[in-house]
Structure 1
Amino acid sequence: MRRLKGEDNSFLAWESAVQPQHTMKAVVLDPSQMSEPLTFDRVKTAVRGWVDHIEPMRWQLLSPRVGFGRPWWISRPQIDIRYHLQRTTAPAPGGDEELAATIGEIFEVALDRDRPAWQLWFVEGLSDGRVALVLKIHHAVADGTASLRLLETLYSRDPQTPLPQPRSTPLPDERRPAPWIWWPLVLRHQIAALARFPSIVARTVAVTGVIRRRQKDGKPGYAEAFAAPAMPFNEPFSASRGFAYRRCDVREIRRVSKAFGVTVNDVFLTICGGALRDYLAENGKLSGESMTAVVPVSMRPDEAEAEWGNKVARWNVDLATHIADPVDRLAAVASATRTAREVQAERDAWLQHDWMEYWPLFWLYSRVLPILGAKMKRRPMFSLIASNMRGPQHTLYWGGAPIEQLISSGPIVFPMGLNFTGWSYRDEMAICVLTCGDQVPDPYGIADRMPRVLAELAARADSADGRLDAPDRQAVSG
């Protein structure tokens, strides 16, 4: 058994029928290069091989019968393949937009907590005989860095690697512990949490002092909560999901990054903010106030340290959507992320994680926030979620079939009913837009603008005025 960390458990607390908290990892394959046809039966066998050889593919939630404490992961390799492997066909002609519509439908339904926390969809009908594998996996299992580890375990760099095969001897299901084992285990963790509580409070007081000192010294802080005006995507949402994505040239993103001395993440956020600005302007919703974003960033000291679960901090960043000029907007975003980095360095970076260990407080917070948000129609806590991940830079294969596209998206969390997720793969970054389908019926209204914003920045990078008014901006690769 493996006990969930507080941050992992937060995604269970946030989850509801209209707010499923799984992530999505999709790959597009060219099966014509496989030695044998990729039949559905072969996919079934390969999925059973995944389950036998990849630990989190066997994890099922086990909640304490005593009614308090965090749940555990328990190994249940004897899966119901009819649930975990689904089959569907994308609409004709099977391009990116048709695949996106299919992914949006797949995204809508929450995973069954009484089974291991994932589901794979085999999508046929794509153009030129391509197929897609769409993996839904609960966010409690893996953050972005752990998901990268998972992808590089599911797939291979070597085109000669065969499809995975199940073990000759089936693995047994792990049993629920007996009450005389379970009760002391839960009680021990609760006593340890109570013992740590005074130090958590003391650290919170210290962080408050840091924030006040920054304010006294006139230094900027994180983007303020409840500062951005409400937009349609900040309203309470239904289970309907709209999904879109566009592929951007990573080489152009890096060129803009280098030309202006900013990070790849700065360019990504500016692309998202610029596309959103243009969309809102066209629909008569653009405000003179800026949208704000919650930006997850890895807290792992070494990117190679990719244990399962979640280890992220959350920056609150102003997207400068009130600024028309793209380069001025990039400068403002770069300044905001630099401030976020400084604030994180000065504060107790793990304090938020440690508070999440107190599950009753977080459970209460996750239930109260929607009530407060529904009453605060004019000011959501933050506008949206935006994250990007540096994915594999080399070609991956599945049983000899090269992976041509990698598409990833995280969930939406009220009141942030808009999620931008960018994952790079080789020389492309697929930037995804996830929304509530009832609030933003056509997410391509936003997604189609992202390549245009990048083109604007790239053109300015070539011109004489393509410099940010930020001489102290360190050029780093984000």
Structure 2
Amino acid sequence: MGTLRDVGTQDVVTAPDPVLPGSRPAVGARAWREVLLGLAVFGLYALVVLLPEGARRRTARAHAETLFGWERSLHLDVERTLNGWLADQSVLRVLANYEYAVTYIASAIGLLAWLYVKHPDKYRTARNSFVLLNLLGLACFTLYPLMPPRLTPDLGFIDTVRLGRTWGSWGSPLVENADQLAAMPSLHMAWTLWVGVELARISALRSIQLLNAVHVLVTLYVILATANHYVLDAVAAVPLVAVAVYAGRRTERVAARPERVAATDAFFLAVETPRAPQHVGGVMVLDTSAAEVRRSDIVGLIVERLDRVPRFRQRLAAPSRLRRPVWTDHPAIDWDWHVVEREADGVDGLRAIVAALEGEVLPRDRPLWRMVLVRGVAPGRTAVVFLMHHVVADGIGVVAQALLLMDAPPAAPPAGAPRRPGLLRRAAATAVGFAQLAADAPPRTRLPVAGTAGRRFGTATLPLALLRDVARRHGTRVTDVVLSAVAGAVHRVGPDTAPDTVARFAVPLMMRSPDSGAEGNHTTAVMVDLPIGALPEHERLARVARRCRAQRTGTRAQAAWFVMRDVARLMPAPLHRRFARAVYGPRFLQGVVSNMPGPVTRPRFAGAPLDEVYPVIPLVPGAPLAVGALSIAGELCVSVSADPALADDADALLTAFRAVIAELDGGPVA
């Protein structure tokens, strides 16, 4: 298993990047995947050819005699007449042999290539039906080998290929190793019929469809006249094509089904309560001294970029409590609710608005996002509060969603691509992580919580260079400094506690690189026992650093991620909901501290420069504190959401937070 590493201000677990909804691999990779699929089907065909020939040839001869006998009794045996006439036509015989060998391949492969390049939305269905068509044919060749008429001269047939010495045609020495006993059904006929069906499905030009109809008739004549197939072989191709096309269309319907909410996302639907809504977001403070930002500007911006943020036009649908909900289109966006305007009386008024919005559950009968334009924050400053339910994305995902709406892509925080550990290393790390989690003693301390939905919200900004300097002087990481400052602030503002008192906090860790996508929850969390008793701040930081150092192997995070993603995926929805509520509450943790990287340059939103941005982190049900930190252009923007029982004034917590940093900056060096 890889290690945890500090990226600016964010811990990242070196785990594999997930494939996000809507993401598409590179064109070259997709083309190679299609080629490999074709080679795999051909490999199955080669296996059929390798079957013992002796017994198979005798069975194929017996089948040929029986089939031809049926045709004679039904008066369908026109093959000998057509074959005898063509054998006497030297030029037509050669042309027919080459038509048999080339055109059915050219038409089918050409259609697939054209769909792949010009109509990728229709390619997958066509590809699936074509693959199934060939797999069904291979099954028939295996279970019902049939000798073609040209290999039964005693029945009166002539091999036109060998008679005309046609180079490279079917049955000539160049393809001598091909399966000679695969007459039932006729894949030549099946492929040309399939091309016709697909041309009709995509509403191709009538002239093209007419040309293919002629090709079908020519192919029918050629396969009979060259004595490669019986009439019943061609007839058998019809139901084969029908089954394959029907199954291909079924895969299209399955692919078009609404996307079901993943277990890692449904977790936050399960734990949400009226007192603890689970939406994340940010407070973007814009510099509007040069130009004002209006509500209509924000609506126009979102309308213009809806294709970048698909969840903005989707809502949840839950047809049954026995299954997880699905995402469904909701094009009728209620702009009067999703984008609103409020007036604030300064910064304190903005914080009161955010605190009230944090306590309001987002209704699930519409897309789960909201933007509130807040005027009156300060002279030349306007705020935009962006909220999105946790089911849509984690904290980094919400940052990515917001960046998709910016006027120009900002510079991303530096982060190297983590190497994916091997399967055995991941399994070993997960096993070790389970053992570590089982050995962890349950937390004893519970911080006070009021019995209401009210909360307090506060913000502060610190120079990122200051935190980096403090971390460097004490031989720790920036994240350790943030966690220690939170613990010190809780000690100074919260209830009196003994020196050895600890409170357990969840520290979210990304299980992907920050730029890998904007949707879905791809974070797990490690639990860190923060010392909140009376301690010198440098000693508190040293204890936090030691406890965090034990987490840097990533084993606990890997085990937690395995449970959140893999085990939860196998749970029935009702059991998963009970599991989520059991583990995400005050019995196991007293709060969340989330530390995220942001853009290293200041982007613009609706034409206005982004001055500050503060995370909005939801409270854990029954827990009193959530702290968010986000770096932007050399500053660390810190926000606090607190239960009034812990801190009736969020500014008091932030004042204590800054005081801890100041003491560490001037305190003794470890």
Question: Do these two structures clear the TM 0.5 threshold for a shared fold by scoring above it?
Answer: yes
Query: 1:322 is matched by which residue type in structure 2?
Result: G
Q: Look up the match of 2:317.
A: 62
Matched, 1:385 2:592: yes
Q: Alignment partner of 2:385: what SS?
A: strand
The answer to whether the Cα contact below 8 Å between 1:19 and 1:239 also exists between their aligned partners in 2 is yes
Matched, 1:11 2:268: yes
Q: Distance in 2 between matches of 1:112 and 1:317?
A: 33
The answer to whether the Cα contact below 8 Å between 1:232 and 1:440 also exists between their aligned partners in 2 is no
Render the CA deviation track for 1:31-64: whole Å, top value 9, x for unaligned: 2323xx433333332333343542221121122x
Query: 1:241 is matched by which residue type in structure 2?
Result: R
Q: Look up the match of 1:406.
A: 613
Q: Distance in 1 between matches of 2:490 and 2:323?
A: 41
Q: Distance in 2 between matches of 1:244 and 1:271?
A: 15
Q: Unmatched 5+ residue regions in structure 1?
A: 160-202, 215-220, 374-379, 468-478
Query: Which range moves more in the overlay, 140-149 or 110-119?
Result: 140-149
Render the CA deviation track for 1:220-262: whole Å, top value 9, x for unaligned: x6994642322213x6x42212111211111101111222232
Q: Distance in 2 between matches of 1:443 and 1:433?
A: 7
Q: Alignment partner of 2:531: what SS?
A: coil
Query: 1:392 is matched by which residue type in structure 2?
Result: P
Matched, 1:87 2:335: no
Q: Look up the match of 1:258.
A: 472
The answer to whether the Cα contact below 8 Å between 2:288 and 2:381 also exists between their aligned partners in 1 is yes
Q: Alignment partner of 2:452: what SS?
A: coil
Render the CA deviation track for 1:177-198: whole Å, top value 9, x for unaligned: xxxxxxxxxxxxxxxxxxxxxx
Render the CA deviation track for 1:172-222: whole Å, top value 9, x for unaligned: xxxxxxxxxxxxxxxxxxxxxxxxxxxxxxx9999567655x6xxxxxx69
Match of 2:404 among 153, 160, 167: 153
Matched, 1:2 2:259: yes
Q: Look up the match of 1:120.
A: 371
Aligned sequence identity (%): 27
Render the CA deviation track for 1:338-378: whole Å, top value 9, x for unaligned: 112225279545322222222322211345569x96xxxxx
Query: 2:452 is matched by which residue type in structure 1?
Result: S
CA distance 1:344–1:88, shift in 2 (3 Å): same
Q: Look up the match of 1:25.
A: 282
Q: Look up the match of 1:356.
A: 568
Q: Distance in 2 between matches of 1:25 and 1:381?
A: 26
Query: 2:325 is matched by which residue type in structure 1?
Result: P
The answer to whether the Cα contact below 8 Å between 1:223 and 1:318 also exists between their aligned partners in 2 is no
Per the TM alignment, residue 144 of structure 1 is displaced from its structure 2 partner at its CA by 2.1
Matched, 1:299 2:511: yes
Render the CA deviation track for 1:424-472: whole Å, top value 9, x for unaligned: 1112212111123455322222121111111111113xxxx412xxxxx
The answer to whether the Cα contact below 8 Å between 1:140 and 1:309 also exists between their aligned partners in 2 is yes
Q: Distance in 2 between matches of 1:361 and 1:204?
A: 25
Q: Unmatched 5+ residue regions in structure 2?
A: 1-257, 411-425
Q: Distance in 1 between matches of 2:536 and 2:661?
A: 13
TM-score for both structures, normalised by structure 1: 0.76
Q: Look up the match of 1:472.
A: none
The answer to whether the Cα contact below 8 Å between 1:262 and 1:334 also exists between their aligned partners in 2 is yes
Q: Distance in 2 between matches of 1:456 and 1:157?
A: 39
Q: Distance in 2 between matches of 1:223 and 1:106?
A: 39
Q: Distance in 1 between matches of 2:287 and 2:532?
A: 39
TM-score for both structures, normalised by structure 2: 0.55
Q: Distance in 1 between matches of 2:308 and 2:431?
A: 46
Query: 1:361 is matched by which residue type in structure 2?
Result: L
The answer to whether the Cα contact below 8 Å between 1:385 and 1:418 also exists between their aligned partners in 2 is yes
The answer to whether the Cα contact below 8 Å between 1:20 and 1:110 also exists between their aligned partners in 2 is yes
Render the CA deviation track for 1:274-327: whole Å, top value 9, x for unaligned: 1111112xx545664111211111011x33212411011210101122351111
Q: Distance in 2 between matches of 1:14 and 1:204?
A: 29
Q: How does 1:28-427 map to 2 (within 5 A)?
A: 28-34=285-291, 37-63=292-318, 65-91=319-345, 94-95=346-347, 97-157=348-408, 211-212=434-435, 224=440, 226-233=442-449, 237-280=451-494, 283-284=495-496, 288-300=500-512, 302-322=513-533, 324-342=535-553, 344=555, 348=559, 350-352=561-563, 353-357=565-569, 358=571, 359-367=573-581, 380-427=587-634
Q: Distance in 1 between matches of 2:448 and 2:559?
A: 35
Structure number having the greater helix percentage:
2
CA distance 1:381–1:210, shift in 2 (3 Å): closer
Q: Distance in 1 between matches of 2:589 and 2:614?
A: 25
The structure with the larger Rg is 2
* Matched residues, number: 395
Q: Alignment partner of 1:269: what SS?
A: helix
Q: Distance in 2 between matches of 1:436 and 1:223?
A: 31
Q: Distance in 2 between matches of 1:151 and 1:424?
A: 15
Q: Alignment partner of 1:433: what SS?
A: strand
Q: Distance in 2 between matches of 1:313 and 1:53?
A: 26
The answer to whether the Cα contact below 8 Å between 1:228 and 1:382 also exists between their aligned partners in 2 is no
Render the CA deviation track for 1:48-92: whole Å, top value 9, x for unaligned: 3343542221121122x243211122232320111111211112x
Indicate the structure whose relative CO is greater, using CA pairs within 8 Å and at least 6 residues apart: 1
Query: 2:480 is matched by which residue type in structure 1?
Result: D
CA distance 1:130–1:362, shift in 2 (3 Å): same
